[in-house]
Each structure stands twice: as structure tokens, then as C-alpha cells.
Copies of this chain bind each other. A is one copy, B any other.
């Protein structure tokens, strides 16, 4: 913090008025005579005065800023989200502070305690990092204004933004069906995450709706470690061509990247022999990955980012009596990993 700065007191003395009057000028109150206002403004300039925002926040009980809490600010996955938030914040002339939580519980708790006690008026929490009950319950308990994105917290009535994972899965699977696929397997990520369950359900529902009968082995559980998808895919390609699936719908891009590499290393190619499709465009293994651009289910991250700021300001202004609950639809983005099945396989 600054070494030595002018304060209202200094300005008051310099302009020969009271503290109250200086404060009034600073905050643009209308009940101060033009002559005195000018004198105060001159003094402010002369002393190079800026109000101390900590003192101001303390007495006004309002910090004039909000914060965004994300697991990793550097991930290119968040580019569009952040872009939307930047634009949303600028449109409202808000001080938006972006904070990167990391994996450590301790680090995250420190940030939250710092931000929610006098430094910001409200926060936006992105992603499953924050699904653990205690923190959400604490914020809800002390009535600190916050908004969850893509978190799906069920046990309390909190403000949240979600994407329609189940419907996204439907669109993805129907795309494969339209191409002519019938033997479509699902590579499913960590079932403890609600989004993976939703995507799985969307897959299941759509397969049933199209009368596609599947055996047990049509769902492969990848679990938390995406790299498992590599060997599972590779293994799968060993099946006789009658039994072999012609398409894979994956929970996310990490899994898809591993699956595609497994397929390629087994001597097959995508999409000629197998179509692969997933949620989100590839951002994680970009360096290692050498394959065609993904066909994927995209999230409207820019819009979510932009709107989230708007919703938070609504909450701060007290305009959100009912809990906000918005669901955003996904879009299928066509790339080079899906194609009609091979003739011989039909």
C-alpha cells in the first residue's frame, strides 16, 4: 500500500472546509455551493488526492467490486468464458477481479475468506471445484451474494447457471444415428460428477428412443483418469468387425483425445473406421494430440460469462427474490472426427 498519501483531512484543511463537505464533493452530492465545490476540487487536484477504498468500503459496507473464482485461469478452455465476463463487467463499469484457485483446498479457502469479507460485494464460482458442501453452505448461511456456474448444487436454493448436458448428449448421439451408426458406445467419465451422469442419461435415453438395443458393454467406465480411455479404445479395436462399435460418444474432450490416439495406435483411423464425438473442444492434450479436428458439443461459454455478470449484479441490487436458475443449450460443432460408418460394417 502507498507510503504516504493525502487524506480527506488534508484536503479539508487545504480548502478550509470540513471533512463532510469534502466527502460531499467527492461523492457528487448536489447540496454544496458551486464556489465551495470548485475550491475543494482544486484542492483535490493540488494535493493529488484519491480516496482510500478500504476506508470507503468499511463505512459504506460496499466494496464496489466482484470476483470470479476459477480453478485455472490459464486454461484455454476458459478463454471464451473470461472474454464474456470481461465484456459483461465493462458494460456495467464494474471492478472485476479474477482469481485462480488451484487444486489446494487451503489456497481456495484463503481466497474465499479474503474476498468475501470486505473486499468484494459478490462472487461467481465456476465449476465442480466448489461443489463441496461446506463452502457453499457457509456462503449461503452468511448470506453473501454468489452465483454458481456449471456446478449443480442441489441441497440449497442457490443462484446457478447450468448447461443442458442431457440434451447436448441427445444431439450428439442423434448426429451419429443420422450418419447411419447403430453400434454406438459411450466412454463415460467420473460418475461422481453430475455432468457425466447427465451426459450418460442423454446417451441412454436417445439410444432407447431410437430403438437401439445395447448390451452392457456399450458403456465403458473410464473413471477419473482419462488416460484409461487409450487402452480401452485400443482393446476395443481388437474385436471382430461384426461386434466392433462404429462410433464412440465420450463424456469429454480429454477422453476423446485418448480414445482417438488409442484407435490410431491400434492401426485404425478416425473417422474412416470409427467416429468419435464428445463434449467440449480439445484444450488439454493439445500438444500430444495428432488427429483431426474434433466434432464436439460446444458450450456457449461467452454468453454464459457475459450473462453471469449481469445476473450477479441483479442479485446485488436485490432484484433476485427467487433463486436464479438458467440452463443454456449446447451446439453441435462439426469437425473431422465423425463420418458415416464403413460399408463393410453395416
Given the known interface contacts A2-B116, A74-B83, the answer about A48 and B142 at a Cβ–Cβ threshold of 8 Å is: yes
A57 contacts chain B at the CB level, 8 A cutoff: yes
Given the known interface contacts A55-B118, A82-B100, A118-B54, the answer about A143 and B72 at a Cβ–Cβ threshold of 8 Å is: no
A346 contacts chain B at the CB level, 8 A cutoff: no
What is the CA–CA distance of A27 and B53 in the complex, to the nearest angstrom?
A: 23
A79 contacts chain B at the CB level, 8 A cutoff: yes
State which residues 73-132 of A face B: CB under 8 Å.
73-76, 78-80, 82-83, 86, 89-90, 93, 95-100, 102, 104, 107, 110-111, 113-114, 116-121
What chain B residues lie within 8 Å of A63 (beta carbons)?
A: 1, 54
Q: Are A117 and B83 interface neighbours, CB within 8 A?
A: no
State which residues 47-81 of A face B: CB under 8 Å.
48, 50-58, 61-65, 67, 72-76, 78-80
Q: Are A1 and B143 interface neighbours, CB within 8 A?
A: no
- Taking A52-B117, A97-B97 as known contacts, 11 extra A-B pairs with beta carbons closer than 8 A to each other, sorted by chain A number, are A1-B118, A2-B116, A2-B117, A3-B144, A54-B117, A58-B58, A73-B86, A74-B82, A74-B86, A90-B102, A96-B99
What chain B residues lie within 8 Å of A80 (beta carbons)?
A: 74
What chain B residues lie within 8 Å of A98 (beta carbons)?
A: 73, 97-100
What is the CA–CA distance of A30 and B141 in the complex, to the nearest angstrom?
A: 32
A5 contacts chain B at the CB level, 8 A cutoff: yes
What is the CA–CA distance of A105 and B166 in the complex, to the nearest angstrom?
A: 44
For chain A, the count of residues having a C-beta within 8 Å of the partner chain is 59
Q: Which of B58, B79, B86, B141 contacts A54 (CB 8 A)?
A: B58
What chain B residues lie within 8 Å of A143 (beta carbons)?
A: 2-4
A68 and chain B: residue at smallest CB distance: B98
Q: Are A1 and B74 interface neighbours, CB within 8 A?
A: no
What is the CA–CA distance of A93 and B113 in the complex, to the nearest angstrom?
A: 13
Given the known interface contacts A90-B104, A117-B53, the answer about A2 and B142 at a Cβ–Cβ threshold of 8 Å is: yes
Q: Are B79 and A95 interface neighbours, CB within 8 A?
A: no
Q: Are A113 and B72 interface neighbours, CB within 8 A?
A: no
Q: Are B86 and A110 interface neighbours, CB within 8 A?
A: no
